[in-house]
């Protein structure tokens, strides 16, 4: 399934996007995904004036929050309609795109103060032969600066009033617009990373088989009973912070769509304690970015009191955060149409297919054929390194990280906060289970460890962290950390040197890697699945190009 892509430059409201969405809905077959990329200088408002568009407007309004400078991926129609809102300076935003549009809508007021020729050149780089550009108001005729720039950059002005132009350069474009066609895909690894990729590719028409050596999906690090979904913050708003916000937004959309709130996940918000006394927020958020408060703000005295903390404690409140059961998300993604799961299928060898058209054969340790595919994606955590070597390609630099959490059943009398708290380890209270509400505390961080056995010393370390993080909660739960009563979970996570996940091709367009998410699989998996699919199909990226490039660093 290929996408139709529209680019709007200088958008301030949703009128054009809503009309494109309505037209997509009017197509009874809906054979193509709709990508709509809107470049905004600051805010983006809904357009409720048209009664026919009201149902779409209501869906859009629910996602119009936290529009800080950068890219924001909004998802509708089960992932078939994607709106990418890009906030910032237009020329900079155009540089960070990587797609070819079918149509362009240009608000000519957006050119004020910009170099017209330079901007039109940037627009042309996002066009393919035949792309239609429409201007509003229609004030170019070929004699003014805009019209002259369009002609110089390969556009033919097609109407006397000068409101339409078609990209039809006299020269041959050096760009390669050949998108990969959907076929058979095998994803190796049935955790968050692998099943997110499988779901994203299946939505684009791929027949996806997910292979894993375990008997059940989510048997590795994704078997964690519950994990935190919370954005990272940093004074310089680092790539990790920006990527985490993009990922949290997409995971929240997925959780609302495929999980049961209160059972599989909870949109509770998360309190982040700053035990060193500093609030790690970018300085630009203080006055210039009001949308930042949608994401994160100083915790109120009432919130701190609810956590059993002094009301003057330095802490942050993340409104768009909560807890998720990873295995529930894995099962939901495996249930997507076009995805098939196979356990007890441990891949040990990969051979390039001798059939016409290429592809790969995946074999087990005995040499028995497990599957054949046009596309293979390694999402097996630390084991992806060995799989890459087995395929004869450069192995990425990955590190195994063992993590352990302590868990226990929560009594009604336990003085625990009504929301998760992190900052020195993390406490997640009131996770729904058949046996009653569960609390989790952790996790440890042991580098280069491959054995996931639960260890009593780690329970003691988790209690020590809890005593620092939430003293009242630690006093109430301390007995449950004793050697006689302690219960826990341990797993092996996979991390990279720069703490960013890896999403990159290993061999042309037929062998990919999606792994290295460390302790932030819930924040990164859905984003990485969409990023891989976008790069494979030449679609608009869900993040700025420079951030996508930062996720392709092997060393």
Neighbours of 478 (CB within 10 A): 12
Residue 176 three-state SS? coil
Residue 154 three-state SS? coil
Q: What angle do CA 166, 75, 534 make, to 5 degrees?
A: 60
| pLDDT, tens digit only, all 555 positions of the chain | 578 999 999 999 999 999 999 999 998 666 689 999 999 998 898 876 677 888 999 999 999 999 999 999 999 999 999 999 999 999 999 999 999 999 999 999 899 889 999 999 999 999 999 999 998 876 565 558 888 899 999 999 876 555 789 999 998 877 655 678 899 999 999 999 999 999 999 999 999 999 999 999 999 999 999 999 999 999 899 999 999 999 999 999 999 999 999 999 999 999 999 888 777 788 878 666 789 999 999 999 999 999 999 999 999 999 999 999 999 999 999 999 999 999 999 999 999 876 656 789 999 999 999 999 999 999 999 999 999 998 889 878 899 999 999 999 999 888 999 999 999 999 999 999 999 999 999 999 899 888 889 999 999 999 999 999 999 999 999 999 999 999 999 999 999 998 999 999 998 889 999 999 999 999 999 999 999 999 999 999 999 999 999 998 755
Domains of the chain in start order, with CATH, are 3-167 (3.40.50.150), 184-220+328-398+497-550 (3.50.50.60), 274-321+400-495 (3.30.9.10)
| Model confidence, pTM | 0.95
Residues whose CB falls within 8 Å of the CB of residue 58, separated by 6 or more in sequence, listed in order: none
């Amino acid at each position: 399934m290929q996408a139709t892509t529209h680019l709007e430059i200088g958008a301030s409201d949703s009128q054009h996007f809503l009309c494109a969405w309505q037209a997509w809905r009017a197509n009874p077959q809906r054979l193509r995904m709709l990508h709509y990329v809107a470049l905004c200088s600051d805010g983006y408002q809904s357009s409720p004036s048209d009664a026919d568009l009201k149902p779409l407007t209501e869906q859009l309004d629910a996602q119009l929050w936290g529009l800080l400078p950068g890219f924001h991926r909004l998802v509708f129609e089960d992932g078939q309609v994607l709106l990418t809102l890009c906030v910032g300076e237009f020329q900079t935003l155009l540089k960070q795109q990587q797609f070819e549009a079918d149509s362009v809508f240009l608000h000519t007021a957006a050119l004020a103060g910009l170099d017209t020729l330079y901007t039109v050149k940037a627009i042309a780089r996002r066009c393919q032969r035949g792309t239609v550009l429409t201007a509003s108001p229609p004030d170019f005729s070929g004699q003014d600066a805009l019209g002259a720039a369009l002609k110089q950059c390969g556009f033919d002005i097609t109407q006397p009033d000068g409101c339409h132009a078609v990209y039809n350069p006299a020269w041959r474009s050096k760009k390669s617009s050949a998108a990969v066609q959907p076929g058979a895909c095998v994803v190796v690894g049935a955790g968050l990373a692998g099943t997110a990729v499988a779901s994203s590719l299946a939505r684009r028409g791929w027949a996806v088989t997910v292979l894993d050596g375990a008997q059940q999906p989510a048997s590795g690090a994704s078997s964690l009973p519950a994990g935190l979904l919370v954005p990272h913050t940093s004074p310089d708003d680092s790539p990790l912070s920006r990527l985490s916000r993009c990922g949290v937004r997409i995971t929240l959309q997925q959780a609302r769509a495929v999980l049961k709130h209160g059972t599989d996940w909870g949109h509770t918000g998360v309190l982040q304690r700053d035990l060193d006394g500093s609030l790690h927020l970018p300085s630009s958020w203080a006055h210039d970015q009001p949308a930042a408060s949608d994401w994160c703000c100083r915790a109120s005295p009432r919130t701190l009191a609810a956590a059993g903390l002094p009301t003057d404690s330095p802490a942050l409140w993340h409104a768009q955060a909560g807890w998720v059961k990873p295995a529930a998300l894995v099962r939901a993604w495996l249930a997507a149409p076009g995805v098939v799961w196979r356990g007890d299928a441990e891949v040990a060898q990969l051979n390039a297919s001798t059939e016409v058209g290429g592809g790969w054969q995946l074999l087990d340790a005995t040499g028995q054929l497990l599957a054949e595919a046009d596309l293979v994606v390694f999402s097996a955590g630390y084991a992806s390194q060995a799989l890459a070597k087995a395929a004869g390609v450069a192995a990425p630099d990955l590190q195994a990280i063992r993590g352990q959490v302590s868990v226990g059943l929560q009594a009604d009398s336990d003085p625990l906060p009504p929301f998760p708290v992190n900052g020195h380890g993390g406490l997640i209270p009131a996770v729904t289970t058949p046996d009653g509400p569960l609390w989790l505390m952790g996790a440890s961080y042991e580098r280069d460890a491959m054995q996931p056995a639960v260890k009593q010393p780690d329970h003691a370390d988790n209690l020590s962290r809890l005593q620092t993080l939430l003293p009242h909660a630690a006093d109430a739960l301390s007995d449950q950390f004793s050697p006689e009563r302690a219960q826990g979970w341990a797993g092996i996570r996979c991390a990279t040197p720069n703490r960013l996940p890896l999403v990159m091709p290993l061999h042309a367009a037929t062998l990919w890697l999606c792994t290295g998410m460390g302790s932030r699989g819930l924040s990164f998996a859905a984003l990485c699945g969409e990023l891989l699919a976008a790069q494979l199909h030449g679609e608009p990226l869900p993040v700025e190009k420079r951030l996508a490039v930062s996720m392709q660093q092997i060393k």
